[in-house]
Structure 1
Amino acid sequence: MTAPVSADDRPIIRIEDWEALAEQTLPKGAFDYVHSGAGAEETLRKNERAFQQWDLLPKILTNVENVNLGINLLNRQLPTPLLLAPVGFQTVVHPEGELASARSAAGLGIPYITSTVSSFSLEDISAVMENVPRYFQLYWPNDEEVAASFVTRAEAAGYDAIVLTVDTALLGWREKDLQNRYFPMQTGAGTANFVTDPVFQQKYNPSGLLTQEELTAEIKKILLNQSLTWEKIAWLRQQTSLPILLKGIIHTEDGKKAVAYGADGIIVSNHGGRQLDGVRSSLNALPFISKEIQGEIPILFDSGIRRGPDILKAIALGADAVIIGRPYVYGLTLGQAGVTAVLTNLLHDLETSLALTGTASLSDIDGSLIARTGNSQ
């Protein structure tokens, strides 16, 4: 693959340059939707800055001739610890949207998490993933029959897990989107899983005559569920034999509850700073949760990862795998080639960084590799 180049004919390597390209290329509403956080964006900034509060402690004179980035997750061997986050509405960034991102992920053996609010159906996205794992992220609709239909469809389409987002009872106070009067679904993006769902169509569009604007209004009525509680995990378990991961865990007690209620994994995440502003960074929540439940169920991590050393720090603090979101979406500005370039650069950075810690295998990373900045070894 030829690396995408900038206006001055240099390869685009730095994530900041991909971000700048997206800002220059996309309409303001679309860019702000991807880039911004909730409120004053305190948590958005915390997520990235938290990595600066931890130091890597490399060890020298070790054999790192053959570096292995592989992990085992949910009984599948994966070539890297990366997964792609369930970012919705991707056609506001590029016409091929989620299909381009999923094809890129499949080419690199990286699991892709399909959003409920994708602009292509979960079946179409699954079809491009070949034999690479894919997970379906569920925004639990305020209609259990539609929720059950989504999960049934995901299982039939070959998905490997259900990722239930649990931090979105309603949308956060996103000031830039409000200022721009922008919500991607108004463009028709993010509706594919609803308009292709037989239960949704039967209940909300039985005549099949609703306009796009009318369909969007019906979807928005049931998109989120403010009555969702822990007890519903048992109901979800009855709908599927797939593993269930809970995304949006920040409080240690919720990590313990996830185990008690039978979750198969958790994702330590504050939604990339897009929900409740002022909450703890995901990275600083991770070691507390890991201390309580590590080894009982897999712990995945997202929010703030931008480079290889960030991934090493998250794994050293207890993550079994990591999820990235905004970086690959910035790459999507240039379609599949852009996503692949972002991911390839990140993996090269990770491989280099791992070797420079004096560690040949990612599975050997542990807490001895890391210390709070300013603390003695």
Structure 2
Amino acid sequence: MVGAVAAPDDPAAARGIARRAQSDVYRAGVSGARPAVPTQPGALEEAARAALSPEAFAYIAGGAGAERTVAANRAAFARWQVWPRPLRDVSVRDLGARFLGVDRPTPLLLAPLGVMELAHPDADLAVARAAAAMGVPYVLSNQASVPMERVAGSVPEGARLFQLYWSASDELNASLLRRAEAAGAEAIVVTLDTHLLGWRTRDLDLGYLPFTRGMGIAQYTSDPVFRELVRARAGSSTGGSKVRVTPKTIAAGISIARNGAAVTGSPSLRGNLRSPLPRLAVETFLDVFSTPALTWDDLAKARTWTSLPLILKGIVHPDDAARAVDEGLDGVWVSNHGGRQIDQSVPTLDVLPAIVERVAGRVPVVFDSGVRGGADAFIALALGATMVALGRPYAYGLGIAGETGVREVIRNVLAELDVTLGLAGLTAVRDVDTAALRRTDG
């Protein structure tokens, strides 16, 4: 395994990350060491498949329906090619980008991914440590396996944002945003496209949703408003429906009890197995997780809950991007949830230029869905993205090699971005535009 990954913790250090990364790998290779995770995106995914349980891999890798949107997101990148431009001095390169009024060492974010305990026991803590070490902001998921306060306390130096899934309870929404602000979040990312859970065929075929096992609800069970909702449910509960007892039922019950300690206040697994509260916490979460009644008018409430900037995630139509700006939101995040919500959805890269045109530089534009490497990030930046968010690849790295795996995935993406920048004859991310690309029908 290759040793420690050098971190681009300032703009100057981000220059030349490709050379350092290659040097580290090849020098270590002399003694037989290999990278902790594969550098090739397809091999990375296959290594994660081998490392993870079938249920965990299906949840992380899967998409909606026949997964045509997942494929379309990738195919959209194939319609663009990068122009090589030699004979230019690219000896010094700068990956720096400005986002939310802050100069960042790179234009990369880690997108919010829930239930990371499926990939590794250290879950969000490992991801946050890796992100901080690499100078990359991390968007804490509302569906995290670790409460936001614990993540912030573990990595106080890390730049973080918080993702909100708009709950059916406004009191819960307000509580989550107050906690996020207190935990040092720089902005709130309101995810809009999961007000209905997508038709995720891999999970359906396995009959597996991690939340029903009490996983990925740590932000909720650690919240005082949510706990009160659970206690209210307990007061009106009639005992619930009977379930068939099987080894899988027992395993699910143990998982629920273990993850329900936050609502019982007891560290005892035996006590939590006897308590109805962990099961009621799961039922309460499933009831309040989202609301299909959310509209533009509701978004104004968030301004009363937090003073942080609000970024809308799940914007695909240019009209929605324009309205977000007109409504005074602070950023748009172009995403189709990595293809996990609608089968045969519009691929995000295809609409990015139109959204950038409608936004006209008034707010930052974050991009995700289909990004697998640094060349992808370069294309998205050339088409106008302010920042590019990475999703599944870092989850794969986490599943293969924990924190080290996440750090190497981040390093690999940034190194390839750096190489692509230089070979395109450019020296700064801020200079990347459509002149660096050629459109193809491929």
Which TM-score applies when normalising by structure 2? 0.82
Give, in whole Å, the separation in 2 of the partners of 1:82 and 1:261. 26
Letter in 2 for 1:48: R
Give 2:210's aligned residue: 184
| 1:374 shift after superposition | 5.5
Kept after mapping to 1: 8 A contact 2:129/2:158: no
Letter in 1 for 2:435: S
Paired AA for residue 101 in structure 1: V
Could you report, residue by residue, the CA deviation over 1:121-151 in whole angstroms, capped at 9, with x for unpaired residues? 0111222333332000000110000000000
Question: For the Cα contact (< 8 Å) 2:63–2:340, is it kept in 1?
Answer: yes
Is the aligned partner of 1:148 residue 2:174?
yes
1:296 paired with 2:296, answer: no
1:72 to 74, 85, 98: 98
1:26 counterpart letter in structure 2: L
SS at structure 2 position matched to 1:72? strand
Q: Which residue of 2 aligns with 1:41?
A: 67
Q: Distance in 1 between matches of 2:194 and 2:288?
A: 13
Structure 1 range deviating more: 34-43 or 57-66:
57-66
State the Cα distance separating 1:339 from its structure 2 match. 0.5
- The answer for the alignment partner of 1:101 in structure 2 is 127
1:2 equivalenced with 2:28 (yes/no)? no
Equivalence for 2:402:
335
Aligned to 1:201: 227
1:164-219 per-residue CA deviation (whole Å, 9 max, x = no partner) reads: 00111111111111000011112322111111101111222267454422211111
Partner of 2:388: 322
- Offset, 1:275: 0.3
Structure 1 counterpart of 2:311:
245
Do the aligned partners of 1:69 and 1:351 also contact (CA within 8 Å) in 2?
Answer: yes
Contact 2:124–2:144 under 8 Å retained in 1: yes
Distance 1:227 1:374, change over 3 A: closer
**Quick check: 1:90–1:189 contact (8 Å CA) kept in 2?**
no
| 1:48-101 Cα shifts (integer Å, max 9, x gaps) | 111110111232221111110010100111111110010000001100001101
Distance in 1, matches of 2:134 and 2:210, equals 28
Unpaired runs of at least 5, structure 1: none
Partner of 1:268: 334
Q: Residue in 2 aligned with 1:218?
A: 284
The equivalences for 1:21-40 within 5 A come to 21-40=47-66
| Amino-acid identity (%) | 41
Is 2:145 the partner of 1:122? no
SS at match of 1:231: helix
Contact persistence 1:106–1:128 (CA under 8 A): no
Structure 2 residue matching 1:337: 3-state secondary structure: helix
Aligned-partner SS, 2:296? coil
Measured in 1, the distance between the counterparts of 2:351 and 2:155 equals: 32
Aligned letter for 1:306? R
Q: Which residue of 2 aligns with 1:371?
A: 438
The DSSP-based 3-state class of the residue aligned with 1:358 is coil
Q: Corresponding residue for 2:18?
A: none
When structure 1 is superposed on structure 2, of 127-136 and 265-274 the one drifting more is 127-136
For 2:392 and 2:162, locate their aligned partners in 1 and report how far apart those are by CA, in whole Å. 18
2:141–2:164 Cα contact (<8 Å) kept:
yes
CA contact (8 A) 2:39 2:409 kept: yes
Q: Give the TM-score, by structure 1 length.
A: 0.95
Between the two proteins, the alignment pairs up a number of residues equal to 374
CA distance in 1, matches of 2:186, 2:171: 21
More helix by share: 2
Deviation string 1:201-252 (CA, Å, 9 cap, x unpaired) is: 1222267454422211111100011111001121111111100000000001
* Mapped contact 2:195–2:292 kept (Cα < 8 A): yes
Instruction: Map 1:56-67; keep pairs closer than 5 Å.
Output: 56-67=82-93
- Give the AA of the match of 1:191: I
**Deviation of the 1:351 alpha carbon:** 0.7
Contact 1:311–1:350, Cα closer than 8 Å, also in 2: yes
CA–CA separation in structure 1 for the residues paired with 2:176 and 2:49:
34
Q: Secondary structure at the match of 1:177?
A: helix
Q: Distance in 2 between matches of 1:14 and 1:270?
A: 24
Q: Please name the residue that 1:361 is paired with.
A: 428
